[in-house]
Structure 1
Amino acid sequence: MATALGPRRNKMKPARWARELGWRHVVGVAALVFALFPVWFVVIAAFSDSASLSNQRLWPETFTLRQLRTLLDSYPFWSWFRNSLVISIVTSACTVLLAAAAAFAFSRLRFRGRRTGLLSLLLVQMFPASLAFVAIYLMVRNLPNAFPGLGNGSTATIILFYLGGALGSNAWLIKGFFDTIPKELDESARIDGASHAQVFWRIILPLALPVLAIIFLLAFISAQAEFLVASVVLFGQDLSSPSKTVATGLQGLLAGDRYDLRWGPFAIGALIASIPVVLLFQFLQRFIVGGITAGAVKG
């Protein structure tokens, strides 16, 4: 009977289980509670009747949608949400396309200045974006002189600055994944008459879907939560302006006298803004796991 059903597993004694495995469960639960406590605090503030954080409890006495009604009735939140969503989607898609094209050139092509270009991309990423704020502000002021559709308050301007800041590091990440794809596939396709563009679109990109999904997710999260560059481009816009993003709009709810801070509308707005990120992460989860596994082995 034991041979037919396989070897019988010996039950681990409680003392041994606690010594070898139990402490891992304790550490995992503690880490989970530590990570979820700020989120729970935001949820309480979002559905509490009070807009203050000083008198919040771990479990509120009543749940209400008062903060949501205040946010939607007093501010153009849905316009902020739409702007952030459009900026995040366009920025993520263009980032993946541009970074993948640059990574393909650095990984598969051999040309003069290739190593210098790679090192230049790495060097540029070492400088923090805050060093460019003055330059960004001056560029935003002068852009309408050359391009009337760009400038202060323009969604396209924010997208352009986001694309320039994320290209270098993402190109490096994708290049590392492209290097793991056997070059024999490229050579076989070239023998059959395929061009570099056909190799890129029909062979390399389908095989690199896991890392492209990771880059898309990271770029989406970064664009959705980015505040500093957006605040420079949207300088001078008040809370009634529909041109703001979610990050700049919600920050305006906390700008003022400490007795006039609107924590309740801020919390409910932050929860709504996190929904696209959570849904996108769930949709791309299988690609993310595949990308991490595939990137761990070369060849």
Structure 2
Amino acid sequence: MSESTAPSAVGVAAASAGLIDGEDERRIPTKRPVRPGRWFRDTGWRHVVAVVLVVFAVFPLLYVVSASLRPNGTLVGSNALFTSLDLTNYVKLFQNPSQPFGLWFINTLIIGGITAVLTVFLGAMAAYAFSRMRFTGRRVGLLSLMLIQMFPQFLAVVAIFLLLAAIGDVFPALGLGSQLGLIMVYLGGALGVNTYLMYGFFNTVPVSIDEAAKIDGASHAQIFFTIILRLVAPILAVVGLLSFIASTGEYVIASIVLTDPNTQTLAVGLYAFISQKFSNNWSIFAAGAVLSALPVMAVFLGLQKYIVGGLTAGSVK
């Protein structure tokens, strides 16, 4: 082949580059002009709704924090946020001997922590039994849990008062005025809802894991404590968090059971600052409310990774 008819390497490379560049130009989509009206109809309104919800949720928190930093002791004229920054109200919380805020704080942590731990433990065992075992009355028990959780616990306030008063005559440690009696009341009211909630999560764990462990000689107790509890850790964290929040913020039953000021919780004790007519302690009450929210925030941040892990695991199962 002569040199005049043979294609040169430079020409072939240039043609190939031009062809590739032409294909790339055809493949790159052209950007359409952004129209404000179309953007708002597609996604813009969602941003507006999100901003409104954030403002609606954050403003009460900022208002309470601002009121707790005002030294005048009232909420009148507190519409201007953070006009004064004074920690006097936080100091006054711990200076009144008749209203022991520090003792209320410790009582709240003890009652909330014990209630959360026992609720998770007892609810997990009940959920495992309903999910993995077949026994007489299982279906009736599940239906009973569904019916019980439809009625709020404070409807039984009178019955709880009479029951604890009668128990206190025989066993004073569980009667009126005892923190142990309040914990038992909380456990009885929360087991139904939490058991049914954990029962649904236990059903997502494959039964083949239990069967494989049984073949290796594991008992139900070994399967439950060494295998199942690790797999259902996200739902345990959620139930523990919800139980802790409910027990620390509950007022109606705690105000009836806890009659001694030294055994009361924050929800009951803080009410004493504003229970009197024309009370002038709203700023101190706001300071106590801010401090009472710190344990809940700490527990939530500590369990956040388990909660997020449970949400992501549930989305791919």
Using the size of structure 1 for normalisation, the TM-score is 0.91
The one of 178, 182, 193 equivalent to 1:169 is: 193
Name the counterpart of 1:221. Answer: 245
Cα gap change, 1:254 to 1:21, in 2 (>3 Å): same
Partner of 2:276: 256
Partner of 1:158: 182
Which residue of 2 is the match for residue 287 of structure 1?
306
The whole-number CA distance in structure 2 between the counterparts of 1:60 and 1:174 is: 44
Matched residue of 2:85: which SS? coil
Residue 49 of structure 1: how far off its partner (Å): 1.6
- Look up the SS of the partner of 1:260 in the other structure: coil
After the TM superposition, which parts of structure 1 deviate over 6 Å for at least 4 consecutive aligned residues?
Answer: 6-9
- Stretch moving more, 42-51 or 101-110: 42-51
Equivalent residue for 2:108, pick from 78, 84, 109:
84
Q: 2: distance between equivalents of 1:228 and 1:175?
A: 29
Q: What is the aligned partner in structure 1 of residue 10 from structure 2?
A: none
Q: Which protein has the larger Cα radius of gyration, Structure 1 or Structure 2?
A: 2
- Residue 107 of structure 1 aligns with which residue? 131
Q: CA deviation at 1:127?
A: 2.0
Aligned-partner Cα distance in 2 for 1:79–1:254: 19
Q: Give yes or no for contact 1:143–1:151 (8 Å, CA) kept in 2.
A: yes
Measure how far apart 1:21 and its partner are. Answer: 2.7
Contact 2:63/2:81 (<8 A) preserved: no
- Following superposition of structure 1 onto structure 2, how do residues 130-141 of structure 1 map, counting pairs within 5 Å? 130-141=154-165
Match of 2:54 in 1: 32
Once the two structures are TM-superposed, the CA of residue 59 in structure 1 deviates from its matched residue by 2.2
| CA distance in structure 1 between the aligned counterparts of 2:30 and 2:282, rounded to whole angstroms | 54
| Structure 1 residue 42: Cα displacement | 0.5
State the match for 1:57 in structure 2: 79
Contact 1:255 1:261 in 2 (8 A): no
Pairwise CA RMSD of aligned residues? 2.1
**Contact 1:141–1:151 (8 Å) recurs in 2:** yes
Between the aligned partners of 2:282 and 2:33, the Cα distance in structure 1 is 50
Distance 1:217 1:231 in 2: 22
CA distance in 2, matches of 1:106, 1:295: 20
Q: Are 2:234 and 1:210 aligned?
A: yes
1:254–1:261: 8 Å Cα contact kept in structure 2? Answer: yes
The one-character-per-residue Cα deviations of 1:116-161 (angstroms, maximum 9, x if unpaired) are: 1111122222222222111111122222222132322211111111
Which of 13, 31, 44 does residue 34 from structure 2 map onto?
13
Aligned residue among 287, 291, 298 for 1:268 = 287
1:243 aligns with 2:263: yes
Residue 89 of structure 2: which of 67, 83, 86 is its match?
A: 67
Stretches of structure 2 that go unaligned for 5 or more consecutive residues are: 1-20
| Percent identity of paired positions between Structure 1 and Structure 2 | 45
Structure 1 residue matching 2:262: 3-state secondary structure: coil
Shift of 1:218: 0.4
Is residue 179–residue 258 contact of structure 2 (8 Å, CA) maintained in 1? no
CA distance in 1, matches of 2:250, 2:199: 25
Gaps in structure 1 of 5+ consecutive residues: none
